Chain A
Amino acid sequence: MKKEVINIKGLEYTYPDGTIALSGIDLTVFEGESVGLIGPNGAGKTTLLLHLNGILQGKGQIKVLGLEINDSNLMFIRNRVGMVFQNPEDQLFMPTVFDNVAFGPINIGLEKCKVEDSVKKALKEVEMEESSGRYAHHLSFGEKKKIALATVLSMNLEILVLDEPSSNLDPGARRHLINSLTKLNLTKIVAGHDLEMILDTCNRVVLLNKGKIITNGEPKKILANKSLMETHGLEVPSSLL
């Protein structure tokens, strides 16, 4: 039987302005799974992702790698759950590519040579080994996305969480991202509107709307269900028509 890496029970979250973002979320993710999180704008996808490494802490129970998130294990969990945010400009806050990719490993407390090794490996994974010394503001958008992915791959990851990873990418960069994601041997949770990419990279889909899980299952079955998709502000991807 596969190991549970994420277990969410009865998660609820309300923003300070009173907007209910999540209500009654129950979700289990198993080791090695790739879960696609889909839903219209404002469905609560990003809010749910922010709970996975303790950035937001709502009501209910969240267990990551068997641990209930609290202040004492937050660093351990953040070291294991890598989050790639939608906008790479936010993710790349250090001046150079190296400093950005090394940020996580340094915070974990790795020695200098190990930090350098993990940076090298992570940059190799995204095929950007030559860009170590470049400035973040000199990179193209596609390159920024790749480096944003490398910033978490350099950590001791077990779970990779991606928020809209293919947004604003040109077709070539998008294809490269899909190939990179497919190759990665990690548990993945991908939130996005790019349903073709979800089809290519995920083996399970969770449909979220108005802060609730509507359905959860095999990607092709859910994404091909025209009435379900249209009811929740989505469209059947063209490859399934």
Chain B
Amino acid sequence: MHLPEIDKYAERKSIFHSWEPRIKLVSLSFLIFSIVLNSNLTIAFFFFLLVIFLVFLSNIPFSFILIHLRWVLLFCLFFFIIMPLTFPGDKIIKLNFIHISLEGIKYASLITLRAISAILLIFPMIGTMKFDTTIKTLQKLKIPNKFIQMIIFTYRYIFVFIEETRKMFIAANARGFKKRTNIYTLKIIGNLIGMLFIRSFERTENIYNCMVSRGYTGYLKILDDDSKVCRKDFFKAFFIVIVAIILTIVGGTL
């Protein structure tokens, strides 16, 4: 079974793997913000090239990244369909009532490049350390505890959720259910999803009982690990931040 494990390659070696987690998280988050706030297509392309280079340095296989990127690409495809047809600007193609604008294509390209670059950066950022290290880093960075709890439980229970879904569909298939494009199939899938929600609700109650019985009072405490910052970490951060600032300034002047 395929599990959505972002940290599958966390044990490899690269300049990202050896980077102190707090500094890595902050500097790459800075780069992500610079990317998503940029509104220049040329600069977006340079950001994209930079990100590809960084992903290459992170030693995470591109095949692994592409698998996880497929939904983002599908999402971006809709922009390429909608934007050229709806965005005002110079019409480059006119087919009866359909007008395709150049500005629309440019805008869709900008959104796509920004989205893909930002998502790609997630891999060197959190894919190069174990998930529990990411959580401990967020705690050290004083991210609100409620948010950390949400991340922990989502990650922990997504695997249980996938397994439960799989079992329910196996049970349905075992009794002759076949997915077709008809109302009956939709009804059955709707019922299965409904059952999943009920099970999830029951599970949350059980989990809460388990937590309370071991002293949980609403605040999730996690034991910090010892990570030391060295000069190399600051050099890497400096490089990322400087490049992000330069590209942002250049983007603003173009």
Contact pick for B215, options A79, A93, A112, CB 8 Å: A79
Is B183 part of the contact surface with A, judged by Cβ < 8 Å?
A: no
Q: Mark B173-190, 1 if CB is under 8 A from A, else 0.
A: 000000000000000000
Complex: how many Å from CA A87 to CA B216? 19
Is A136 part of the contact surface with B, judged by Cβ < 8 Å?
A: yes
Q: Mark B146-182, 1 if CB is under 8 A from A, else 0.
A: 0000001101110110000000000000000000000
Complex: how many Å from CA A214 to CA B156? 41
Q: Are B203 and A106 in contact, CB atoms less than 8 angstroms apart? A: no
Q: Are B223 and A136 in contact, CB atoms less than 8 angstroms apart? A: no
For B213, what are the chain A residues with a Cβ–Cβ distance below 8 Å? 53, 55, 78, 81-83
Classify chain B's interface size. 20 to 34
Q: Are B211 and A108 in contact, CB atoms less than 8 angstroms apart? A: no
Q: Are B152 and A95 in contact, CB atoms less than 8 angstroms apart? A: yes
Which of B135, B156, B211 has the largest number of chain A CB atoms within 10 A?
A: B156
Complex: how many Å from CA A102 to CA B135? 15
Q: Are A99 and B223 in contact, CB atoms less than 8 angstroms apart? A: yes
Complex: how many Å from CA A233 to CA B155? 41
Is B222 part of the contact surface with A, judged by Cβ < 8 Å?
A: yes
In the A-B complex, the 3 residue pairs with the smallest Cβ-Cβ separation, listed nearest first, are A107-B215, A137-B159, A104-B214
Q: Given A95-B135, A106-B221, A137-B3, decide whether A151 and B214 contact each other with a Cβ distance below 8 A.
A: yes
Complex: how many Å from CA A82 to CA B153? 22
Q: Given A106-B223, A112-B223, decide whether A55 and B212 contact each other with a Cβ distance below 8 A.
A: yes
Q: Are B132 and A96 in contact, CB atoms less than 8 angstroms apart? A: yes
Q: Are A75 and B210 in contact, CB atoms less than 8 angstroms apart? A: no
Contact pick for B210, options A90, A96, A102, CB 8 Å: A90
Is B131 part of the contact surface with A, judged by Cβ < 8 Å?
A: yes
Query: Given known contacts A90-B206, A116-B223, what 20 new A-B pairs fall within 8 Å (CB)?
Result: A75-B215, A78-B213, A78-B214, A82-B214, A83-B210, A89-B160, A90-B203, A91-B210, A93-B152, A95-B132, A95-B152, A95-B156, A99-B222, A103-B211, A103-B215, A104-B215, A107-B217, A108-B215, A133-B130, A137-B159
Q: Are A137 and B214 in contact, CB atoms less than 8 angstroms apart? A: no
Q: What is the CB-to-nearest-CB distance from B102 to chain A, in angstroms, rounded to a whole number? A: 48
Binding site for B on A (CB under 8 A): 50, 53, 55, 75, 78-79, 81-83, 85, 87, 89-96, 98-99, 102-104, 106-108, 112, 115-116, 133, 135-137, 151-152, 155
Q: What is the CB-to-nearest-CB distance from A24 to chain B, in angstroms, rounded to a whole number? A: 24
Which residues of B209-233 are within 8 A (CB) of A? 209-217, 221-224
Is B254 part of the contact surface with A, judged by Cβ < 8 Å?
A: no
For A133, what are the chain B residues with a Cβ–Cβ distance below 8 Å? 130
Binding site for A on B (CB under 8 A): 3, 130-132, 135, 152-153, 155-157, 159-160, 203, 206-207, 209-217, 221-224
Q: What is the CB-to-nearest-CB distance from B131 to chain A, in angstroms, rounded to a whole number? A: 5
Classify the interface of chain A: helix, strand, loop or mixed: helix
Complex: how many Å from CA A79 to CA B3? 35
Q: What is the CB-to-nearest-CB distance from B1 to chain A, in angstroms, rounded to a whole number? A: 11
Complex: how many Å from CA A40 to CA B156? 33
Q: What is the CB-to-nearest-CB distance from B222 to chain A, in angstroms, rounded to a whole number? A: 7
Complex: how many Å from CA A90 to CA B221? 18
Complex: how many Å from CA A238 to CA B57? 64
Q: What is the CB-to-nearest-CB distance from B227 to chain A, in angstroms, rounded to a whole number? A: 14
Q: Are B215 and A90 in contact, CB atoms less than 8 angstroms apart? A: no
Complex: how many Å from CA A118 to CA B156? 23
For A79, what are the chain B residues with a Cβ–Cβ distance below 8 Å? 215
Complex: how many Å from CA A55 to CA B3? 34
CB nearest neighbor in B for A161: B213
Q: Given A104-B214, A106-B221, decide whether A85 and B156 contact each other with a Cβ distance below 8 A.
A: no
Q: What is the CB-to-nearest-CB distance from A162 to chain B, in angstroms, rounded to a whole number? A: 12
For A89, what are the chain B residues with a Cβ–Cβ distance below 8 Å? 160, 203
Q: Given A90-B207, A106-B222, A107-B221, decide whether A137 and B160 contact each other with a Cβ distance below 8 A.
A: yes
For B222, what are the chain A residues with a Cβ–Cβ distance below 8 Å? 99, 106
Q: Are B209 and A50 in contact, CB atoms less than 8 angstroms apart? A: yes
Complex: how many Å from CA A85 to CA B224? 27
Which of B135, B215, B221 has the largest number of chain A CB atoms within 10 A?
A: B215
Q: What is the CB-to-nearest-CB distance from A179 to chain B, in angstroms, rounded to a whole number? A: 24
Complex: how many Å from CA A151 to CA B214? 9
Complex: how many Å from CA A81 to CA B131? 31
For B221, what are the chain A residues with a Cβ–Cβ distance below 8 Å? 106-107
Q: What is the CB-to-nearest-CB distance from B164 to chain A, in angstroms, rounded to a whole number? A: 9
Can you report 18 A-B residue pairs in the complex whose CB atoms are below 8 A from each other? A53-B213, A55-B213, A79-B215, A83-B210, A85-B206, A90-B207, A92-B156, A95-B131, A99-B132, A99-B223, A106-B221, A106-B223, A107-B217, A107-B221, A108-B215, A112-B223, A136-B156, A137-B160
